[in-house]
Chains A and B, each alone.
Chain A
Amino acid sequence: MAQASVIEAIRSTLDEELAADERMFILGEDVEAGGVFRATDGLAAKYPGRIIDSPLAESSIIGLSIGAAHYGMRPVAEIQFADFIHSGFDQLCSEASRWCYRTKGDAYLPMVVRTPWGGGVHGGQHHSQSIEAYYTHMPGLKVIAPAFPADYRSLLKAAIADPNPVLFLEHKRTYRMVRQELEGAPAESVIGRARVTRRGGDLAIFAYGLMLHESLAAAESLAGEGIECTVVDLLTLLPLDRETILEAAKATGKVLIVHEDTLTGGLGGEIAALIAEHAFEYLDAPIRRVAAPDIPAMPYHHAMESFFMPDAAKIAAAARELAAY
């Protein structure tokens, strides 16, 4: 099998799942024409009536998916850009996330909301956001953010099979950036499990999405300097894989958390607290975070955009300091 990009992995997985289960359908803006990132290219002709263009209304996309999932369908919704999901916040957080809890399992929602997130594409404030921190604060949802094509494939399959609402975050910068053999890739990923993608004894880096790739690049260059890093791909952001996180922290004694989201209130704070609470005695240095600065949005101009985003050089700089501590 040829290598696949992230977007190809998503498209072929959607295709397979549509073929496998006639209850599944896709709802979103421009999806009949293939979607703005071409994730649903060719699917409308292949599955007539099951790829449904929605009006330009995100609360509708999520609210309708809730109803359809409640009825027994398997909706896979697409929010065109994660930046626009917030008008559906109420439907996701006041409704979908609580459906099972407030009925004590009498009702539940097998639904997926896919959405491209993240920056590095000159998207400015409303085509670049990291939205995960808002939604990882909502028990009842599952939030997934893979980095490699094979993980996109196995986790999208798992999300569609899951009886709970899953927010599936696709880093748009990586759509065509990385290619990978889908078959025979490293161990099949499952929801709720992180993966150690590189092992090294000096420090542990925790990252997801585009930042996982930047962290791996940083680790590679640091290895040339004699600094060996463990790199953990978090994959599932809610619920977090506490076991893998704590094991990596304990094994290295030094922790660097990387995210593209702004620092304050970002997921890094939760991971740091988890490690401080349960692995404090194993730590040899203060926990470090590399994140975007606390400004309200990613700026448009490339110079400011690059300034905003963490990258391999910034990660390596922080890692060097940490290794020397």
Chain B
Amino acid sequence: MTAVRPRRVRSQKPIDDLLLSEHQLEEMYSYMLLARRINERSLALNRQGRAPFVIAGVGQEAAQVGAAMSLRKGVDYLAPYYRDLGMNLVLGMSAREAMLNLLGKRDDPNSYGRQMPSHWGNSSRHIVTQSSVVTTQFLHAAGIALGAKMRKDPVVVMTCCGEGSTSKGDFHEALNFAAIHKLPVVFYVENNGYAISERTEKEMPLEHVADRARGYGIQSAVVDGMDAIAVYQNVRPAVDQARRGGGPFLIEAKCYRLWPHSSDDDDSRYRPKKELEEWARKDPLKLFRERVENDGIFPRADLDEIEEKTEAEIREATQWALMQPDPAPEDALGFVYKEA
């Protein structure tokens, strides 16, 4: 048992060249850890037969949390894709809500049991409802940005996808339109190496998705998506530039899907074990802990304390969510149209 000791108040002042304060670094670790633990608990519930389907972002937590922390809550918009649990947590989703979503419960604020898990959406948090069709959200993001620009609102829109999605026409159409109209959009590609079983080389003949941006006249950058601090350091300036009217930006975060595509996928059919082991050594949570410990930003005990707090939060959220009401069968009806 760890001894209870008073928590030090974290400074809000940016640390040297990190752009991030102690307070933000603690948040960053907490969100990444929460995302990881929710995904782990989700898979456990799936294997117990309590959750029919899980699609996770394990290995992408740094890419997601580092990027989403660059947004202004309640001002900016996020049009995420299904792995972006980490981003949703940053913008305000609680562990309880994540569990309601996993279980398709009546009160899941994303879709009230109407969509598969991890199909996000929450108007009050400016998270745009998404479907399973990949990359349609890129055009929605550009459309939101068009509206914001017409209204002269200082809004930035971030939209995300995996590298596999960049083969779809809507990806290219959105980049084209956003570039023509210099819209405030950050196109964020989480390149996790796989589109289900297809490796990147089956999706495109280029090494970097970011290279595609040049053809549309869009600035782009490649960032180490396993390093949350590096992600923030690259995404934040792109968000700021878009807000100042500098036009769209494409960022490719190189990360890795440490899990199979979904709870129904067997990745041993297509993924070399050795490759997985190599990437596991670069686990974003492990890297973050090592860095902040080695730099002496947080003592190990503080990080352990975050771990314990997160564990307790998930345990409580899971038990609570399992007790929540399911939708009634006839809840399938209604809300086909918005009443005037």
Instruction: Name A's B-contacting residues (CB within 8 A).
Output: 25, 49-50, 52, 54-55, 57, 59-60, 62-73, 75, 87, 90-91, 94-95, 98-108, 139-140, 142, 161-164
Contacts and interface: CB of A to CB of B under 8 A. Distances in A.
Contact of A104 (B112, B147, B151, B170): B112
Interface of B: 77, 79, 109-112, 114-115, 119, 121-123, 128-129, 131, 133, 136, 138-148, 150-151, 169-170, 173-174, 176-177, 180, 334-340
Contact of A140 (B115, B123, B337): B337
Contacts of B337: 100, 140, 142, 163-164
A108 B150 contact: no
B136 A107 contact: no
Contacts of B148: 71
Most chain A CB within a 10 A radius of its CB, from B79, B122, B336, B339: B336
Contacts of A60: 139, 170, 173-174, 176-177
B260 to A, nearest CB: 25
Nearest to A95: B136
Given A63-B139, A66-B140, A94-B131, A57 B173 contact: yes
B123 A107 contact: yes
A68 to B, nearest CB: 4
A163 B170 contact: no
Given A94-B131, A100-B336, A106-B121, 4 more contacts: A70-B140, A70-B143, A99-B129, A101-B335
Contact of B133 (A57, A68, A95): A95
A120 B134 CA distance: 38
Nearest to B128: A70
B145 A67 contact: yes
A49 B151 CA distance: 11
Given A25-B150, A63-B143, A95-B133, A161 B340 contact: yes
A59 B169 contact: yes
6 contacts: A55-B173, A63-B174, A69-B143, A90-B136, A104-B334, A140-B337
A163 B338 contact: yes
Most buried by A among B133, B140, B335: B140
Contacts of B129: 99, 102-103, 106-107
B189 to A, nearest CB: 18
Given A94-B133, A103-B129, A107-B129, A71 B340 contact: no
B125 to A, nearest CB: 11
Contacts of A105: 335, 338
B139 A100 contact: no
Given A63-B139, A64-B139, A68-B144, A102 B111 contact: yes
Given A55-B177, A60-B139, A95-B136, A70 B338 contact: no
A163 B140 contact: no
Contacts of B119: 102
Nearest to B145: A67
Contacts of A161: 340
Nearest to A97: B336
A142 B145 CA distance: 26
Contacts of B128: 67, 70, 107
Nearest to A105: B335
Contacts of A64: 139, 142-143, 146, 177
Given A68-B144, A70-B143, A104-B111, A98 B131 contact: yes
> Shortest 8 CB-CB distances between A and B: which pairs?
A67-B143, A63-B139, A71-B147, A108-B338, A64-B143, A67-B140, A163-B338, A68-B147
Contacts, number: 138
A56 to B, nearest CB: 10
B143 A68 contact: yes
A140 B128 CA distance: 18
A269 B180 CA distance: 45
Nearest to B176: A55
B335 to A, nearest CB: 5
A162 B142 CA distance: 23
Contacts of A71: 77, 143-144, 147-148
Most buried by A among B138, B139, B151: B139
B115 A102 contact: yes
A102 B114 contact: yes
A59 B143 contact: no
A106 B123 contact: yes
Contacts of B147: 67-68, 71-73
B136 A63 contact: yes
B59 to A, nearest CB: 28
A63 B114 contact: no
B177 A54 contact: yes
Given A71-B148, A102-B131, A66 B335 contact: no
Contacts of A108: 338
A62 B169 CA distance: 13
A52 B334 CA distance: 35
A73 B140 CA distance: 13
B338 A100 contact: yes
Contacts of B146: 52, 64, 67-68, 73
B121 to A, nearest CB: 5
Contacts of B79: 67
B144 A67 contact: yes
Among the interface residues A52, A72, A75, A103, which one has the most CB atoms of the partner chain B within 10 A? A103
Contacts of A25: 150
Contacts of B340: 161-163
B101 to A, nearest CB: 13
Contacts of B142: 63-64, 67
A91 B337 CA distance: 17
A63 B170 contact: yes
B19 to A, nearest CB: 29
A93 B119 CA distance: 17
Contacts of B338: 100, 105, 108, 163-164
Nearest to B181: A52
A78 to B, nearest CB: 15
Given A101-B335, A102-B121, A70 B173 contact: no
A106 B120 CA distance: 12
